[in-house]
Amino acid sequence: MFIPLKDLNPRRSFPFVNTALILVNVAAFLYQAQLPVQARNVFVLANATIPARFSSALSGHSSLELAFLGLLTSMFLHSGIAHIAGNMLFLWIFGDNVEDYFGHIAYLVFYLACGLVAALLHVFFNFNSMLPALGASGAISGVMGAYALLYPRARVLTLVFVFLLPLPALLILGLWFAMQFLEGINALGSSAAGGVAWWAHVGGFLTGLFITMISRGSSRARDFGFGS
């Protein structure tokens, strides 16, 4: 068991967007938590990603706009304290430096894009499922993918069983991604039964890697006088 607690990677600017994302997620969770049980269930169903909405929309029985809206709103909902605490911890650890790299506005676009692609991949693998999927983990997986590429040697203070160890970010994030991928493979062919959206994690991580690779390539091209 390993739990990242803090990265030892200094930043150049205050992470306004990353902090705002954490606050919005917490505010949405507190609003959701104070609702009566029945109203909370209705709220979650109305705003979660439900894959079957896409198959229904494509067959002309419901609105495609409503299905796509759920991809966005579901990024700010969580199923419980452990769910949001884990997600916000990872966002707090890795998000500030990624925002430092992209800049504030570009980081927000990057975060939302990773979340949307992650949710779409979950829909693809669970196309007829009526089970709601929610959480920021797809977007945060994208942040982690970017961090792994940008700062592979940065040290992350990690709780390993009962020991605190400064481990390389690439080791922590590489192990995390391998676990998500293997769990996703293991879940193939089985009926959706709730729980973790493994393929959303995989899709978000790979999207974050891909966007960051393109960004770095564009930056290097500009440095060498191309594309100006």
The rounded distance, in Å, linking the Cα atoms of 52 and 28 is: 24
The rounded distance, in Å, linking the Cα atoms of 113 and 118 is: 8
Task: Quote the mean pLDDT of the chain.
Answer: 90
pLDDT of residue 171: 96
Please write the tens of the pLDDT for every residue from 24-63.
999 999 999 999 999 999 999 999 999 999 988 888 777 8
Domains and CATH numbers, the chain: 2-220 (1.20.1540.10)
pLDDT of residue 26: 98
Joined tokens for residue 26: 């917490």
The rounded distance, in Å, linking the Cα atoms of 181 and 131 is: 21
Please write the tens of the pLDDT for every residue from 85-138.
999 999 999 999 999 999 999 999 999 999 999 999 999 988 888 889 999 999
> Could you give the residue ranges of the DSSP H alpha helices within 49-129?
52-58, 64-73, 81-102, 104-125
Q: Which of 126-135, 171-180, 203-212 has the lowest mean pLDDT?
A: 126-135
Instruction: Indicate the pTM of the whole model.
Output: 0.91
The rounded distance, in Å, linking the Cα atoms of 99 and 91 is: 11
pLDDT of residue 182: 93
Contacts of 81 (CB under 8 A, 6+ apart): none
Q: Quote the Cα angle for 97-168-196, to 5°.
A: 75
Q: What is the mean pLDDT of residues 150-166?
A: 95
The rounded distance, in Å, linking the Cα atoms of 142 and 133 is: 17
Joined tokens for residue 116: 């949307």
Q: Quote the Cα angle for 139-27-88, to 5°.
A: 40
Please write the tens of the pLDDT for every residue from 214-227.
998 876 655 545 44
Q: Any idea which residue has 């609105």 for tokens?
A: 63
pLDDT of residue 128: 85
